[in-house]
Structure 1
């Protein structure tokens, strides 16, 4: 595997939630409150500016964009009239929401901080919230430490979530009703968060990923035609 990298885009405020769709990388420049796209030749376009901090991205089966509003703890959908409320998670998520992955059937899984990270509180376990295509919400998994970055395998049977401050990836089986069950360890990252994504989904992290190896990769994620999304916490650059 060629390990050479190059800077794709620089000058970003806080890039998060990468999603590869229709030959472009979609992501949120969180603290600039923008949703951006960039092609592999570096052509960037601002798709949306937001009032709240933008979190996870995903798409309904009809192609409608879903977007997490982090501090509001809500999910919006983008229409011709602008952002319209899709789901209110404020009664389920104890603190700011963050990343989201959307299944092919339109079910979304949304993570949250669980505690006041910037206020200096100690980490506590929290939940993943399942958002049905009609906007109905329920807690579908608990006991997670800062779940922020999820991927659904190509067969739709498994969800893998990054537990940032537990330095691990945890996997769940997805039931026919969309519920998550049978949690198990997928990878122990030893403080090396990783992002490797397919079309429309990614386990995301805003820390550098430099190490490649079988301990960070497992079955269920195709290894061919994979793009690594790397964000330096010091310089905030996209690297491929």
Structure 2
């Protein structure tokens, strides 16, 4: 099924599939707000969606229903480093500020790990795939290397070594990516390749792949939004990668 028909069917002809918003607790007590997009039994592959800098789980309003239609259950997560997008306020950021917690990129790791733990215990009996956007895509690669027994696949939209200004070493992501065992996919705007190529090169598996558009493309998961004329190419690459789980 072509994406253009799929998007039309979902967002116009059928309507976006219903979601449920819940809160889970990070290890330091911060309430992590997530949207559950559950359309199938808990034995199907499960994708956890993490947003980019300054945004919220609203980044996936259009993307998650399409992933449901493709056969996946999903969870879109508010990390504490973010604000709002698509009229969706980042509630985890609000909770973190109330508890006077730091909200830099690197501080989002407890939220991401809490989402993974919750999904493994309560929601996903099959493959568990993590998907990040911008800074969270870098952290998703780190998690995939650090939690090899828990992660079945990772998709990273515009990753990079973004964390030196937060006191982390310049190879903070690369040192974990070298331990990745699961299938891995990286993509970005065309001009961003140099930000992640060295990370991609150290991933030791032969199940890794990447996509760069012929056009300038876009940063992060918004590259899949239908308002961008080159989103089809990104979707084709993502679907090709995800087909191995179905």
Pairwise TM-score range, normalised by the shorter structure: 0.3 to 0.5
TM-score (norm 1): 0.35
TM-score (norm 2): 0.34
